[in-house]
Amino acid sequence: MHPRPGQDTLKGSLKRNIGAFLQWRENNKCTFHFIALIVFLSVLPFLEDSEVARIFTDIMLVILLFFAVQAISHKVYLMAVGLVLVGITIVLYCLYYRTGIVHYFNDAMVVTLVFFIMVSIAIFSVVIREREIRRDTIIGAISIYFLLGLTWAIGIMVMVIFSPGSFDIATMHPDQLVYLSDYIGYSFSILTTTGNYNVTALTAASRTVMMFEMISGTLYIAVLVSWLVGKFLKERPA
């Protein structure tokens, strides 16, 4: 039984649309990753009131890791390392939810921190080396800023995990498991130097970490603006 002409047309149209989307994703890796970042950060505040919601948060974080791997796929070795780190993170999350042992969750956050540091450096290297300014390049530069805030938030989490008492969260009870959403707002408020949200740095080490986050946010904006101005002046006709 041969397919009808209408079915052939539909399949052909579907293949073309999928092919066009994959080509767009390949040419706009930073844009694709930026969209994933915005979706993750937008949905995160609504996923903190129950255990099921927090499980979904971890699933979304793993999906975001896969999108980040796509963003650094221009280097085979980076993509390979990224996939290995994502795989380790998934295994640790599965072990945590299967056994309830908090150490697996803590280890997963450490691996995630290493991953995001690597991705932030890799995307920054790609953006800063671009010879011409494209829309994807600009969005890539913006996504790095969001990545910085997310990476510092994970870093704060890791610091709290291994050095309890470094930070005080006004809404957190003693012995409560630390979640990423508890530190996202604080991290971005420090990165943008707008305030300290509902978290207080209690130790000299934690205050030093916050100092470096403020410096990194301010320094990145300065580097980004100077880079854009330099590119603009270089490409402007004489």
User: What is the separation, in whole angstroms, between the first and last Cα of the chain?
Assistant: 66
The domain tally of the chain equals 1
Residue 21 has pLDDT above 60, yes or no: no
**Contact call for residues 67 and 201 (beta carbons, < 8 A):** no
Amino acid 145: pLDDT:
87
The model's pTM is 0.77
* Domain with 212 in it: 24-235
> In percent, how much of the chain has pLDDT > 70?
68
C-alpha angle 187/123/144, rounded to 5°?
25
Residue 176 has pLDDT above 70, yes or no: no
Q: How many CA atoms lie within 13 A of 130 on its CB side?
A: 24
Residue 168 included in any domain:
yes
Amino acid 169: pLDDT:
66
CA separation for the pair 52, 63 (Å, rounded): 17
Residue 49 included in any domain:
yes
Q: Is 112 exposed, middle or buried (0-12, 13-18, 19+ CB in 10 A)?
A: buried
Q: pLDDT (tens digit, 9 = 90+) per residue, 65-124? A: 777 777 666 677 777 888 888 889 889 988 988 888 888 888 988 998 998 888 888 888
Q: What rounded mean pLDDT belongs to the chain?
A: 75
Residue 226 included in any domain:
yes
